[in-house]
Structure 1
Amino acid sequence: MEPSTPPAGRGLRLEEEERPSMERVFEGEPVPSRSETITLRSVAVSIALGCMLSIVAMKLALTSGFAPSLAIPAGLLGSFLPRVWIRLLDSCESSQLPFTRQENTVIQTCVVACTSIAFSGGFGTYLLAMSSSAAEGSIGNDDNNVEEPNVGRMVLFLLLTSFAGMFAIMPFRNSLIIHHRLTFPSGTATAHLINTMHTPQGAKQNSKQVAMLLKTFCGIVAWSIFQWFFAGGKNCGFRTLPTFGIMAYRLGFSFNFSMSNVGVGMFCPYKITISMLVGSLISWGLIWPYIETKAGDWYPNGLDDDNISGINGYRVFIGISMILADGLLHMFSILLRTLYTMSKQQDNPEPMQNAGGQPFQCLNDVLDRTTHSFDDRRRTQVFLRDRIPSMAPIMAYVFMSVISTVVIPHLYTQLRYHHVAFAYIIAPLFAFCNAYGNGITDLNIATTYGKIAMLIFSSWVGLKDGGVVAGLAACAIIASNVSTASDLMQDYRTGYITLTSPHTISISQIAGTALGCVINPVIFWVYYKVFNAGAHDDSNSMGPYAKVYRGIAMLGMTENGLPTHTMLLCKVFFALALSLSVLREVAACRGWRVRRFIPSTIAMAVAFFAPPTITIAMVMGSAVIYLWGRSDRNDMQMMSPAVACGLICGDGFGSLVSLMLTLLKATPPICIMVLSREVNVSLDAFLAAKATSS
């Protein structure tokens, strides 16, 4: 005899009892209005945190080139500072609105949108690649292919390119979040962090995490200032210590005491850091030393290390070929996965059954059976409450596109009106594909779309007419639009889980982006002026990716001036990287055990041109996580994000203090330097001879 089917309401209650519900914890709290969410408190905290963390993000973008998510420090500090604000005003007997998770979401959204401009704005990549410092010693270093950074032009260009993508993706928010039920893992993780911090137990844990973050932050700032006192000359300071021996130091392998890279390594999976270490050992330990023995045969003797016609040409173009291979495979893989998922959902829509008198009956019939839980019903009702005419964002995108088409050719004369118009025609397609793929895989490949656009536009314009700058500017247009669209959908997912109004999310995203478009160029200008003044060394050089992006822009235009066998080696490494990427994807799909031991192609490619000191520091961070987890896994999982954020933020502010001292013409009083035994003997003999003669 078949079991009887329980009534709809009873079956639903049984299902809810089996599944833990976060919204049951907040069931007695009303959903705050927009005026109770966007408050003077949230605005002030957002501006303060946005400015502070933008400094950190800019330091990372210009030195390591990596873009770790700052959502965790934004969420932690965005929860801590308003509570401090409330306590201070309570001591003054001033009434305040309660601090809610929706207000926390607004702060986090605004701060992350502001700091994201440091990466999506291309300060360490395509904008810096236009400068004369990136063009020095390379092909196309004439005036037509060089544009020096200018604060006013950067602010206007970012304001034109950073908003259109958001308007392009807004009409699809209900489709991607509600109908297709995309997970957007980063947005989901951020939302669960915020929800947890607003429970009694989560608030206590949050206080411990913030205390650990502040202790680490203060310690690293003090350590950075201490290091400054010993860097009173060229090749002086702790960064130049040969931690693994003189021979390894000459090949670039040493620990340069960059705590930000250690923090990045604590966030990265083991596979990424180990893959980078493998790439550094293969390239900087074997390939580059061998190619250097061919100086005078494959390329002229006596060239500067940054000259694209010398050893740097091999580093840049071989790394580019591997990045393109992995990026193209990811793009086609995500595109095929996206099309498959969409077609599968079209064939099996599985419409939702009648709710049977349960709450929130106003939900659309686009929902499937997975929304029968109380959490999903409540979240969907709040998310669908805000409606916006589909034509409004479309008209806003058209307006922004027209303005950009008119203005951008005046900012970068190498681009013509039809070039910019074509870029804005194809940008929405790329933005949707990237947002959908990001929702499935959590991979944001906006830079891959930008690189493809760079190759197309640079070859379209040509080297004589400024194809390098044209390609880099087109890359900025596409990458900015595609990246901001994906970021907005991640934030919509966060807002969906924290019951934050989509309209409120849109407002905070737009406000944070506008703040970032103004703040980040100013921060970049300070770094750029100080670095150009020579207040840095090779171990901490600015913009390791700038020459890579410039190399991609030149790739489709000319082979003249490149070292011998460059293109042959590029084709070989492209094929090897593509084969390795395909093997990794097949192994993951088939569930082969060997998949754990196949290195990440993109991480290896980065190590081909990034200094090994970055890799060493990141491996140190992974080692800390591993050893910490072996001793106390629970403590590691709770406290390691706070420690990593403290390392990254502390190093960023420590470098800012050093920059300010440099701008004030302050000179470190001490020079600490390590010499080899042979050099030390020669130095002792020289000093003894000098003392005798005097």
Structure 2
Amino acid sequence: MEQEHNSREMRRMDREDDSDEEVDNIEELDNVVTNNDVKIPSWREQITIRGAVASVAIGVVYSVLSMKMNLSTGLVPNLNVSAAFISFVGMRSWTKLLEKTNMLKTPFTKQENQIINTAGTACYTMTYGGGFASYLLGMNRKTYELAGGGNAKGNSANGLKEPGLDWMITFVFVTAFAGIMALIPLRKILVIDYKLPYPTGTATAVLINGFHTPKGDKQAKKQVTGFMKYFSLSFLWACFQWFYAGGANCGFLNFPTFGLKARTNSFYFDFSLTYIGAGMICPHLVNLSLLFGAVLSWGLMWPLIKERKGDWFPANVPESSMESLNGYKVFVPIALILGDGLYNFLKTVICSVKSFQAAAKLRRRSKTHPDADDSKHLSEENRNKVFMQESIPMWISFTGYIVLSIISIIVIPVMFPQLKWYYVLLAYIIAPPLSFCNAYGAGLTDMNMGYNYGKAAIFVFAGLAGPNDGIVAGLIGCGLIKAIVSISADLMQDFKTGHLTLTSPRAMLVSQLFGTAVGCITAPLTFFLFYKAFGIGDLDSEYKAPYALIYRNMAILGVQGTSALPSHCLQLCYGFFAFAVAANLLRDFVPTKFGKWIPLPMAMAVPFLVGGYFAIDMCVGSLIVFVWQKTNKRKADLMIPAVASGLVCGDGLWNVPASLLGLAKVKAPMCMNVLKGAN
């Protein structure tokens, strides 16, 4: 599962279990959402200085958290609910303090809550949406060498560009804003006319609406206490672990929980509270799929293939070469990812076409047979009125997209001569219709397929550019398409939340632009904090950045074809591609009581290259949730988001002082290691 889209798949799985409950909650809150006695702030009043400060703080903190997970495993869970919770907690605490001092002039509203959440989320999503751990990092020398260096077919040295703060900031600034402009004129069609559910946007609206009620305020106090408790515990535990990590293979991170041989095959519990918290957020099926993939690869396949050394692959090549076992570790998960992505892409297109036709028929029928004027109809009408009364001029969208396209056509070929200007023009021509398809599909299934469009772009642009320029052309072409298509769908999710919370679309657009601009600065800075302080990209380090290698090898595959694969790897790839398609077919067509146990191929693919240690952490988190819900489901449902957020935030935030210590060349004073006993 990859960093840009894996969170969407996890969101979709999570929402399937409680979508009915969320719809009921929205109906229960209609009296709050549509109460005409409550004055709705204008769009200028919804944007506040304190909100801007809060959104920057949330964006920076969550940028560090998501960058750590992005660079270590590429698995970034859904942090949107956590971010909405933190924004509410922070602002409510601040306004309560001002109330006591009689200094509060403007109350904290759900509209302001949504504006903060939109800007903060737009900021931190740039850490994985910007490609820092995938297609951008895939061009550096270390990834080039991991892909086989000059000895690997198609791995051209012309496809090298070392990370640099200047060009990375320029690149994300040039590419990030076009996706915001692409679908603004179609927001009414997607949100109001076709009534797309956008499950993540709906769930966030339920959370925010619920917070701004008397009952929600009482629950928030309990959640704040739980969050602070586990945040402190997580931060202090991460600090304690640091003192014992003063050398190679030192510390709790490498403790051989299941024995030395199991540790060699990446099976150990590494005491990472980040991934325990992430496991509490993710659905059980995602965590079990990760564990199944780890057992299948590191427990069975890789030991068996390793025994074929000298037969299937040369005995004298380095382990990092794509001609060795490492080649199987990279290309087999690529097959799983492509099989799963292709199936879900086709499924989404088919569902979108059918739903589009059904919605058109329903609109025609509603014009001739209007619904009764009941309270539900009135509440929906009120939402629609608020959503459309402060419109966004259409010329802003068209002018903005054209200007941004021209800037990219000029700037991108200067930064990357391998990608010709007409390739950039082609990307900006085909991106808007692809964005509409993706946004419509995301509204139905909650799956943002932008990463799949990006993968397809790798093969298209790599093949067009040829052997010398294909790698950079493929990777940067991927970034252009993925950024526009993915951000457009994310913006529609936010508009859905705004529609349900009576938040002005104009205010949300401003907050999205502000958050994206901040993210274009904080994301590269956060990346370089890790890049300078730790060994990014080493397969033996904590920060493996697995998708950098996977994306580069996709580009090599686009240039070279299947001749780039090691012996018998093609047959294995065919098998796992078929397995991914078959698993999805079974999940969709067998009865739910059986289909819910079929593993997710995208989740299975992550540990094939990374290892099984973090899957064990995730399953521990899943076990905690399972036991807690069995013993006290009411309390568990209330406290799990707060506890998980505390574990993730505390452990993740320790990376800031740890990075600064690393930059200052300060090493931990002790080394804890476990060695094999004497015979």
Q: 2:394 aligns with which of 380, 390, 397?
A: 390
Task: State the match for 2:11 in structure 1.
Answer: none
From 409, 417, 420, the counterpart of 2:413 = 409
Alpha-carbon separation, structure 2, partners of 1:388 and 1:537: 48
Structure 2 partner of 1:446: 450
Specify the alignment match of 1:521 in structure 2.
Answer: 524
Q: Is the 8 A contact 2:29 2:209 kept in 1?
A: no
2:266 matched to 1:255? no
Query: What is residue 566 of structure 2 aligned with on the other side?
Result: 563
Cα separation, 1, equivalents of 2:312 and 2:410: 46
Residue of structure 2 in register with 1:291 after alignment = 305
Say whether the 8 Å CA contact 1:132–1:141 is kept in structure 2: no
Q: 1:651 to 1:141 in 2, by over 3 A?
A: farther
In structure 2, the partner of 1:190 is 204
Do the aligned partners of 1:23 and 1:374 also contact (CA within 8 Å) in 2? no
Alpha-carbon distance in 2 for matches of 1:398, 1:560: 40
Q: Residues 347 and 33 from structure 1, CA distance in 2 versus in 1: closer, same or farther, beyond 3 angstroms?
A: closer
Answering whether residue 232 of structure 2 is matched by residue 218 of structure 1, we say: yes
Q: Note if 1:163 corresponds to 2:177.
A: yes
Whole-Å separation in 2 of the counterparts to 1:86 and 1:517: 29
C-alpha distance in structure 2 between counterparts of 1:432 and 1:503, whole Å: 20
CA contact (8 A) 1:168 1:485 kept: yes
For the pair 1:544 / 2:546, whether they are aligned, the reply is yes
1:166-197 alpha-carbon deviations (Å, 9 max, x no partner): 11111110001100000100011101100110
> In 1, are the aligned partners of 2:73 and 2:606 still within 8 Å (CA)?
no
TM-superposed CA distance for 1:92, in Å, is: 4.5
8 Å Cα contact 1:231/1:238 also seen in 2: yes
**Counterparts of 1:447 and 1:291, CA distance in 2:** 30
* 3-state SS of 1:291 partner: helix
- How far apart, in 1, do the equivalents of 2:374 and 2:256 lie? 57
Alpha carbons of structure 1 residues 203 and 301: separation in structure 2 relative to 1, 3 Å: same
Aligned to 2:534, the other structure's residue is in SS state helix
Deviation, structure 1 residue 71: 1.6
- 1:524 and 1:156 mapped to 2: Cα distance? 15
Q: Deviations over 1:440-466 (max 9, x none)?
A: 0001111111000001111111222x2
| Matched AA of 2:252 | F
Residues 372 and 668 (structure 1), Cα distance of their counterparts in 2 relative to 1, 3 Å cut: closer
How far apart are residue 52 of structure 1 and its match?
A: 1.4
Q: Which amino acid aligns with 2:67?
A: M
Question: Could you tell me which amino acid in structure 2 is paired with residue 563 of structure 1?
Answer: P
With 571-580 and 225-234 compared, the bigger mean Cα shift is at: 571-580
- For the Cα contact (< 8 Å) 1:353–1:369, is it kept in 2? no
Q: How does 1:313-462 map to 2 (within 5 A)?
A: 313-350=327-364, 352=366, 372-462=376-466
User: What is the TM-score with the length of structure 1 in the denominator?
Assistant: 0.90
C-alpha contact (below 8 Å) 1:64/1:261 kept by paired residues: no
Tell me, what secondary structure is at the counterpart of 1:348?
helix
Residue aligned with 2:417, SS: coil
Q: Which residue pairs with 1:530 in the alignment?
A: 533
Kindly tell me: are residues 215 and 354 of structure 1, through their superposed partners in 2, closer, same or farther at Cα, counting changes over 3 Å? Answer: farther
Q: Deviations over 1:237-264 (max 9, x none)?
A: 1011111122211211111112211111
**Which amino acid counterpart does residue 546 of structure 2 have in structure 1?**
P
46, 55, 61: which is aligned to 2:70?
A: 61
Separation in structure 2 between the aligned mates of residue 188 and residue 146 of structure 1, nearest angstrom: 43
Structure 2: how far apart are the matches of 1:115 and 1:276? 25
Question: Could you list the runs of 5+ residues in structure 1 that have no partner in the other structure?
Answer: 1-15, 356-364, 682-694
Whether contact under 8 Å (2:331, 2:565) holds in the other structure is: no
Shift of 1:145: 0.9
1:127-276 alignment to 2 at 5 Å?
127-137=136-146, 138=148, 139=152, 140=154, 142-276=156-290
C-alpha distance in 1 between matches for 2:358 and 2:169: 43
Deviation of residue 354 (structure 1)? 10
Kindly provide the CA deviation profile for residues 393-436 of structure 1, in whole angstroms up to 9, marking residues without a partner as x: 12211111111011101111110001111111111121111110
Could you tell me how far apart the structure 1 residues matched to 2:121 and 2:112 are?
14
Query: In 2, Cα distance between the equivalents of 1:620 and 1:227?
Result: 19
Aligned equivalent of 2:580: 577
Letter in 1 for 2:111: Q
Q: Let me know the Cα RMSD of the aligned residues.
A: 2.2
Unaligned runs of 5+ in 2: 1-23
1:369 offset after TM fit, Å? 8.1
Do the aligned partners of 1:234 and 1:537 also contact (CA within 8 Å) in 2?
no
Are the aligned partners of 1:280 and 1:607 in contact in 2 as well (CA < 8 Å)? yes
Larger radius of gyration, structure 1 or 2?
1
Residue 583 (structure 1) shift: 2.2
Change (3 A) 1:509 1:592: closer
- Retained in 1: the 8 A contact 2:180–2:488? yes
2:504 aligned with 1:490, yes or no? no
Contact 2:252/2:271, CA 8 A, preserved across alignment: yes
- Give the Cα separation in 1 of the matches to 2:376 and 2:242: 59
Pairwise CA distance, 1:351: 5.3
SS in 1 for 2:339: helix
Shift of 1:540: 1.2
